[in-house]
Structure 1
Amino acid sequence: MESKQTLLLNAPESCVDEMLSGLCRINNALYKLTGSSVLVDGRRASADAGSVAIVSGGGSGHEPFAAGYVGRGMLAAAVAGSVFASPPAATIERAIRAVSGDKTGGVLVLVYNYTGDRINFGRAVERCRDLPNRVEIFIVQDDSAMTSLEDTAGRRGLCGGMLLIKIVGALAERGASLDELLQTCDDITKRMATLGVAAGGCTLPGASAPLFTVPPGMLELGLGVHGEAGVGSLTKSSAKEVVATVLEHMLNHDSHTGLQLAPGDQVVVLINNLGSMSHLEMLVITNEVASFLEMKGIIVERIYAGHFMTSLDMRGFHVTLLHTSDHLNWLDLLDAPTDAPVWQQPCRIPKGGSLSLEDLTEKLASTSIKQLSAVHVSPAATLFIRSALHDFCTAAPSWTARLNELDSGCGDGDCGSTLTLAATTMALSLDQLPCSEPIKLLDTLAQMLGESMGGTSGGLYSIMFSVMSTSLSKIASQNMGAKCVELSVDAWLSALSDGVAAVMKYGGAKPGDRTMLDAICPALAAAKNQTNSEEVAAVLKALADAADVGAKATSTMKARAGRASYVRGGDARKEDAGARAVALILGSLAQTAKQDSQTII
């Protein structure tokens, strides 16, 4: 079939890097970190500003988000992944460390509510806990397509986030604390809604057809920015009628995701071109949005229209409403000056002098507060850990077909393959793994799994092990004078509990959502209730048995997290692959412990 690709690029694999370089050429205050897709505000770095630094980003293809909002009064740095793919955790970590100077008031990481972004940004944030200043994360979500959030992974992050970035960016510039910024983010999210329509999907670089098509004469209502289908269709009609449909959905009093507005309420409006709408159409739509709100007695205090968060060449628009009644200071913050290159009426200030980025990149080698190599366990415990890893590496390939089959219904069908890939990578490094140093080992495994497995499961395991490492380091710090520290079973369970909590935080799921949590949470509870808690074999058997029961129970659950929660008509008839994988891993650990029942971790 003849390609219908119309994007004017050099090559799909180089377009992101070239796009960032192009942006730096039109704003000489922006710098791209060498060897990565990170853009930083160079003048902020040279001044070593004492305000909170704000970092955001995500997959490319949504330009001008996020790189276009780097500048004084908005973002300190932006991270770009491949087109429609979350940036790697290591790249995000570079961005955070690049803006976390000694005088910085902390780092606020703004993440849009998509599973891949939550996981990778979460991994990066956890790996930056060693920094001298606080690093906190906030999940941006403003989608109002679904009238109920039951059985979903929550509201998606859309173009309303640009208003949030502008407000909290200006607030940070004025010296607000990290806690004040987090509270403002929460206040904005609760008072903001976004919805849109499209006449057709976008076409990825290198592809010959759009991600989705809309029948002639129809529009898709409530679509996402990655080609996800919307909540329904409507007949294409006049701009007035389409805008009325969108706004009535957003102002529906029965909706849990819309806005409850009354005559006299004040709002800020943002109208986002998803890619290929003409200026003529956008201004007509802008007029209709303002007219509709005025007819309802709603006061429009500010209105923005243009490209804010696109979806490549998608033909459609989003409308964001921000309820500003009782928050008139937000208007002042929106009006505050910024030199971010794409914010409307940006202020261009010439760069003065020269700037070396060596001080930024050197921060990547900062010493961790974990003191990773300072804690050793006994020779017996070391032998058990090495044996357990060996047994897992040996057993994992035999699970491949079963896990792939379970994953084929609503996932990528590769759960078993990715787990086997992790086991293969681990086996090649088994002799070099620091099995006598559990804190360092967990940190090493976190990196190894994140890189070798990839995807959602790799990210979640990476986060869990990284947080477990941090948790154990805090426990072990009480005995830093000892050459050999015996970490109790309770210490390991406490670390596992912290790791599981992080998986829930960044993965966005909870027990009952048909995920790996439905195996690991009951397993953790069973282990904590084990009366003879210092017998490793007994504790691991309790973990394995409860995980097996939990995995089986997922066969009757409906997916309420991740991609599967957005699939129309999705029905679970098999066990969840992630839950079964957890049960198999814990079963392998229990079998190893059974063979060496004298082991004390």
Structure 2
Amino acid sequence: MTRLFNDPAAFADEALEGFAAAHRRWVRPVTGGVVRAGGTPEGQVAVVIGGGSGHYPAFSGLVGRGLAHGAAVGNVFASPSAQQIRSVARAAHGGAGVLLMYGNYAGDVLHFGQAAERLTGEGVRARTFAVTDDISSAGPEETAKRRGIAGDLPVFKAAAAAAEQGLPLDEVLAVAEHANARTRSFGIAFSGCTLPGADHPLFTVPEARMAVGLGIHGEPGIGEESLPTADEAARLLVTSLLKEVPDGVGGPAGARAAVILNGLGSVKYEELFVVYRKVAELLGDAGVEIVDPEVGELVTSFDMAGISLTLTWLDDGLSALWRAPADTPAFRKGAPAAPEHAAAAAVTAEESDEQTVPEASDASRRAAAVVLAALDALAATVDDHAEELGRIDAVAGDGDHGIGMQRGSTAARLAAADAHARGAGAGTVLVRAADAWSDRAGGTSGALWGSMLRALGGALGDDEKPTAARVADGVTEASAAVRRLGGAEVGDKTMVDVLVPFADTLAAATADGVPLAAAWDRAADAAETAASATADLLPRKGRARPHAEKSLGTPDAGAHSLALITRAVRGVLIDHH
């Protein structure tokens, strides 16, 4: 378990601060992550990678010449926010555009996509690419749904080496696509990982058993088998990957492959070498030529006891990119390069308009006090139920929903209080809360709650006292925004299963002339009923999808938290009626 920490909520920030202090030769800190100490050469495409904390040396440890130009680092097992990614990308930009790369997880897809849109709107050419190497997370016919695990490294490196060669953005992206299409990974685990401050692991494996097909966020494996010997583990890994040789390779005999045997946190190097001796033998027997293998901890999951094997099937172009020199804190290849000198000046802090608020009517400012009270009640409810939400989420996910909701709701409440103190109206208070929630929480829930609060804030505005109908319209728009952003619909076992009936019930009641507090009460009842009903659904979206059967009988964590929050806000509306 993770034993050395201060405040668990500050763990990711403090870890990044210490990492940057220890590796000044390679990196310098910027808001949201780190960039190369010497900056990006002018005219070179910047490859910016990122993801949640808890996976070191991914992602910050891979910043340096020959690999990433910057890394955006989120909270523990949560994607960085769009603002963090944008900040790192702007600091890394060398004038030739930015390629944003990440593992294929819902939160990362949302936040990196939003960051790319904002960068493009600001005149910075930006493209995104998600790595999809894990064969256990979806079948060959659904490779786009696969998650990214240790295959992140060879795909990141191929793209970064192409950027070092001076290729333009579209060609660097094409290299990433080609490397990803030829990369496959498979993993096993013997115990789960424990988050900082938690007193139990996210999942457990029975004695003398192993989980097969695990995820790097503590997601349970897709099956269990008897605990193997080292040679049996090697055989399982190799056999599983050789069953799916990518199109264009022709077959394992005579092919070349970059090979990565990755330790997930608690399996030590000597154990990895014992396994690798058999991996090398089996691949040799299959006729595979191994090129520059890597054995060690490259993408971890805190203290998870597990290993994964990655094969990137090489052609001449990919072979040259894989073998190209790299010099980063955690990954080096080829002849050592002369030290990079730190950039002459730190990135200038972006000017912010957070100290000013738009003008608002007296009625809207009075309504803002009610909004702030609702956000206070929301945050208090999340605090009360954080452990429960994490437990529910861990059944088929990664167990971080409670922590993420705490981070987001606390940040939203503080931002709202600051805006209210400076005379903001109801709309601005909600929008500031939305941005703070999304930025601090990261992850899928951060993006979705940010979009909900922003939609509601836009509907209320700062000019008038919000009417019941306007509140209902805002909730309806919030429902639509979440479905647009996340792609989920009713029946997918997500928060949408609660948000849609809540919004529909609220709209119908207010249309019938029911006062807001009573209408909200009616809608909160519908939300609670819908949240309970998600226990009978199989997930069709998100990290829980590969473990659908495990979640039967347990409600969706996001749906449950939303229902709890609607009930808490109902109390505030009654008090201010």
Alpha-carbon distance in structure 1 between the residues aligned to 2:191 and 2:391: 27
Is 1:512 aligned to 2:491, yes or no? Answer: yes
Structure 1 unmatched runs, 5+? 477-482, 596-601
8 Å CA contact 1:143–1:195 kept in 2: the answer is yes
Q: 583-592 or 419-428, which moves further after superposition?
A: 583-592
Is 1:23 aligned to 2:27, yes or no? Answer: no
Is 1:300 aligned to 2:289, yes or no? Answer: yes
Is 1:237 aligned to 2:237, yes or no? Answer: no
Structure 1 residues 112-133: Cα deviation after superposition (integer angstroms, max 9, x where no partner): 2445655665676666566330
Is 1:157 aligned to 2:148, yes or no? Answer: yes
Alpha-carbon distance in structure 1 between the residues aligned to 2:402 and 2:217: 22
- 1:365 pairs, out of 351, 355, 359, with 351
- 1:580 pairs, out of 539, 563, 573, with 563
Is 1:389 aligned to 2:390, yes or no? Answer: no
| Structure 2 counterpart of 1:339 | 327
| Structure 2 counterpart of 1:269 | 258
8 Å CA contact 1:519–1:583 kept in 2: the answer is no
Percentage of matched positions with identical amino acids: 26
Letter in 2 for 1:570: S
| Structure 2 counterpart of 1:139 | 130
Structure 2 unmatched runs, 5+? 394-398
Is 1:570 aligned to 2:551, yes or no? Answer: yes
8 Å CA contact 2:56–2:299 kept in 1: the answer is yes
Is 1:321 aligned to 2:311, yes or no? Answer: yes
C-alpha displacement at 1:75, in angstroms?
Answer: 0.5
Is 1:51 aligned to 2:45, yes or no? Answer: yes
- 1:558 pairs, out of 513, 523, 538, with 538
| Structure 2 counterpart of 1:75 | 68
C-alpha displacement at 1:402, in angstroms?
Answer: 11
Alpha-carbon distance in structure 2 between the residues aligned to 1:397 and 1:67: 31
Structure 1 residues 30-61: Cα deviation after superposition (integer angstroms, max 9, x where no partner): 23227x6733212234x44442342324314x
- Change over 3 Å in CA distance of 1:405–1:227 after alignment to 2: closer
- Change over 3 Å in CA distance of 1:189–1:443 after alignment to 2: farther
Alpha-carbon distance in structure 1 between the residues aligned to 2:268 and 2:390: 41
8 Å CA contact 2:66–2:325 kept in 1: the answer is yes
Alpha-carbon distance in structure 2 between the residues aligned to 1:68 and 1:306: 16
8 Å CA contact 1:52–1:176 kept in 2: the answer is no
C-alpha displacement at 1:296, in angstroms?
Answer: 4.1
Alpha-carbon distance in structure 2 between the residues aligned to 1:226 and 1:574: 20
Alpha-carbon distance in structure 1 between the residues aligned to 2:117 and 2:367: 24
Alpha-carbon distance in structure 1 between the residues aligned to 2:436 and 2:88: 21
Alpha-carbon distance in structure 2 between the residues aligned to 1:162 and 1:459: 26
Aligned residues: 547
Alpha-carbon distance in structure 2 between the residues aligned to 1:220 and 1:280: 21
Q: Secondary structure at the match of 2:551?
A: coil
Structure 1 residues 312-340: Cα deviation after superposition (integer angstroms, max 9, x where no partner): 5655431112344xx64322322333333
Letter in 2 for 1:74: L
8 Å CA contact 1:406–1:577 kept in 2: the answer is no
8 Å CA contact 1:153–1:561 kept in 2: the answer is no
Q: TM-score of the superposition, structure 1-length normalised?
A: 0.68
8 Å CA contact 1:271–1:305 kept in 2: the answer is yes
> What are the residue-to-residue correspondences of 1:207-226 with 2, within 5 Å?
218-226=209-217
C-alpha displacement at 1:159, in angstroms?
Answer: 0.8
Alpha-carbon distance in structure 2 between the residues aligned to 1:149 and 1:582: 40
Q: Secondary structure at the match of 2:392?
A: coil
Alpha-carbon distance in structure 2 between the residues aligned to 1:157 and 1:52: 21
- Change over 3 Å in CA distance of 1:71–1:449 after alignment to 2: closer
Letter in 2 for 1:106: G
Letter in 1 for 2:46: V
Letter in 2 for 1:292: L
Structure 1 residues 185-217: Cα deviation after superposition (integer angstroms, max 9, x where no partner): 444434422112345556777899977665665
8 Å CA contact 1:558–1:572 kept in 2: the answer is no
Q: TM-score of the superposition, structure 2-length normalised?
A: 0.71
| Structure 2 counterpart of 1:108 | 99
Q: Secondary structure at the match of 2:38?
A: helix
- Change over 3 Å in CA distance of 1:547–1:321 after alignment to 2: farther
Structure 1 residues 84-121: Cα deviation after superposition (integer angstroms, max 9, x where no partner): 56556665444223213xx5222222222445655665
- Change over 3 Å in CA distance of 1:546–1:212 after alignment to 2: closer
Alpha-carbon distance in structure 1 between the residues aligned to 2:479 and 2:171: 29
8 Å CA contact 1:400–1:417 kept in 2: the answer is yes
8 Å CA contact 1:69–1:341 kept in 2: the answer is yes
| Structure 2 counterpart of 1:350 | 338
8 Å CA contact 1:53–1:104 kept in 2: the answer is no
